[in-house]
Amino acid sequence: MDEMSEARRDLAPCGLSCARCLSFHEGPVRTHAAALLEALTNFERHAPRFAAFDPVFANYGQFREMAAWFAQGRCTGCRTGQCLHGGCRVGGCARSRKVDFCFECPDFPCAESGLEEPLRSRWIDMNRRMAEIGVAAFHAESKGRPRY
């Protein structure tokens, strides 16, 4: 896979990293959550006993529910799926304008993103950075940056 194809797979049109999103079907959060749940198979039977040693284990059911959500990996990325940010209109706009990233649009930045602060400011900053250094360099840079 060439650099641009990899960048398009991993980055949403807004510049956020789909690859490291908590809901991405091929992401590390999903992979690690699934592995953790597998390692803890049947632990729910023992959690009440462990709660006697440390009260945090009384919350094991909630922990397992959250880990199960992460392990599902529901999202296939903003280019093929629905953005988790409910009001986001970036993906649809990019498709209709036939651009891979917002900075490629002559109207960027616009009022059509549907993003609220602070995400709107990040969207502008990320796309300006992509325009400045190129998509491949931005993609490489984003791999070393925390997603959240």
pLDDT of residue 122: 92
Tally of helices (H runs) and strands (E runs) in the chain: 7, 0
Burial of 7 (0-12, 13-18, 19+ CB in 10 A): buried
Same domain flag for 132 and 60: no
**Side chain identity, residue 148:** Y
- Which residues span the domain enclosing 36? 32-72
Count up the domains in the chain and report the number.
2
**For 113-144, how does the pLDDT look when each residue is reduced to its tens digit (9 = 90+)?**
888 899 899 999 999 999 999 999 999 999 87
Same domain flag for 13 and 67: no
Specify the 3-state DSSP secondary structure of 90: helix
Same domain flag for 62 and 96: no
Q: Which two tokens stand for residue 83?
A: 């953005």
Same domain flag for 81 and 109: yes
Same domain flag for 37 and 96: no
**For 43-69, how does the pLDDT look when each residue is reduced to its tens digit (9 = 90+)?**
999 999 999 999 999 999 999 999 999
Higher pLDDT, 53 or 148: 53
Same domain flag for 46 and 77: no
For residues 6, 113, 95, 80, the Cα torsion angle rounded to the nearest 10 degrees is 50
| Rounded CA separation 78/70 (Å) | 17
Same domain flag for 13 and 38: no
**For 66-83, how does the pLDDT look when each residue is reduced to its tens digit (9 = 90+)?**
999 999 988 887 887 677
Q: Which two tokens stand for residue 107?
A: 């109207």
Burial of 51 (0-12, 13-18, 19+ CB in 10 A): middle
Same domain flag for 68 and 79: no
Share of the chain above pLDDT 90, in %: 63
Same domain flag for 101 and 133: yes
Report CA 76 to chain centroid distance, whole Å. Answer: 10
Same domain flag for 93 and 56: no
Same domain flag for 106 and 37: no
pTM: 0.80
Higher pLDDT, 87 or 12: 12
Using CA atoms, how far residue 140 sits from 3, 34, 83, 130, in Å, is: 9, 26, 22, 11
